[in-house]
Amino acid sequence: MTKLKTLAFATVAMLALGSAAAKADLVFATDAAPYPPFTSQNAAGEWEGWEEDVMQAMCKEMNEKCTHVAIAWDGIIPALLEKKFDGIMGSMSITPKRAEQINFSNMYYNSASVIIGPKSDDKDISPAHFKGKTIGVQGATTHAAYTEKYFVPAGAVSKSYAGQDEANADLAAGRIDYVQADGVTLQAFLDSDAGKCCEVKGAVPVDVEVLGPGVGVGLRKEDTELLDRVNKAIKALADKGIFEELTHKWKLDGMLILPPKG
């Protein structure tokens, strides 16, 4: 009987330790819709992409085991504030409006916001040129905010989508005239069979207030210790050249602005 009690106690202790270990893992949310080449799930349900690799490298620097979880983009900040996960690592641009609710790490990449449309000789992306045209954007993004600020007042129609892939599909089908989004993820679409219809019309003029200075990890205001650890990990990856290695792996050389070394 004593042996049974000892065994039972040991089992409970092991379960408690296992639970504590699970709680020590960090969970970062990203968009539920595919966002290649940054984050997407393969046929086996495994996460892959440049940003997934950066997250794993960052967590290795912090001596943490990390996983991605899929969350609908328009509810991702509320879900973070409700403590459903530890942070957002899903190509979220740093903006003043978002920074009112959450903290951001230092920038870990930046890229241009571009307009794509059907192949033609027309490369005019001035606001007046979009009068009467429909521009597809993913909702609750900096690109949607940019379209609302510059193109809608000039007479364009902004059509919002839950995921970038839905906007791209409507463009390919001719249901909308243009799409505005991150140039890197749109290039992945243009390189696909579905995207052969279209081309880059141009990069929109930079407005840092709307588009932000780059992409950062989103964290709760109170999680200052985690913010410090994440920033130190980002710096370490930059100094070790890990960002360049992963950028080369995913064939994104010259397409991203990366954190400086030193």
| pTM, rounded to two decimals | 0.84
Q: Tell me: pLDDT of 21 over 80.
A: no
Question: pLDDT averaged over the chain?
Answer: 92
Mean pLDDT, range 124-140, rounded to an integer: 97
Q: For 156-181, write each residue's pLDDT tens digit.
A: 999 999 999 999 999 999 999 999 99
User: With 80 as the cut, is the pLDDT of residue 2 above it?
Assistant: no
Token code pair at residue 109: 């990449």
Span 213-237, average pLDDT: 98
pLDDT at residue 146 in the model: 98
pLDDT tens digits along 184-224: 999 999 999 999 999 999 999 999 999 999 999 999 999 99
What band does 233 get if pLDDT is binned at 50, 70 and 90? Answer: very high
Q: Is the Cβ–Cβ distance between 85 and 219 less than 8 Å?
A: no
State what percent of residues in the chain have pLDDT above 70.
91
The rounded percent of the chain whose pLDDT value lies above 90 is: 90
Q: Where are the alpha helices (DSSP H) in 66-207?
A: 76-81, 96-99, 142-146, 164-172, 183-190
- Give the pLDDT of residue 178: 98
pLDDT of residue 16: 40
Q: Examine the pLDDT at 101 and tell me if it is beyond 80.
A: yes
49-59 pLDDT tens trace: 999 999 999 99
* Cα–Cα distance for residue pair 171/164, rounded to 1 Å: 11
Q: How far apart are CA 76 and CA 249, in angstroms?
A: 28
Q: What is the pLDDT of residue 262?
A: 85
The amino acid that residue 212 corresponds to is G
CB contact at 8 A, 140 and 91: no
Q: What is the C-alpha separation between 74 and 140, in angstroms, rounded?
A: 6
Q: For residue 156, what pLDDT is reported? A: 98
Other Cβ atoms less than 10 A from the Cβ of 70: the count is 17
More confident: 259 or 4: 259
Q: Is the pLDDT at 8 greater than 90, yes or no?
A: no
Decide if 18 contacts 59 (C-beta within 8 A).
no
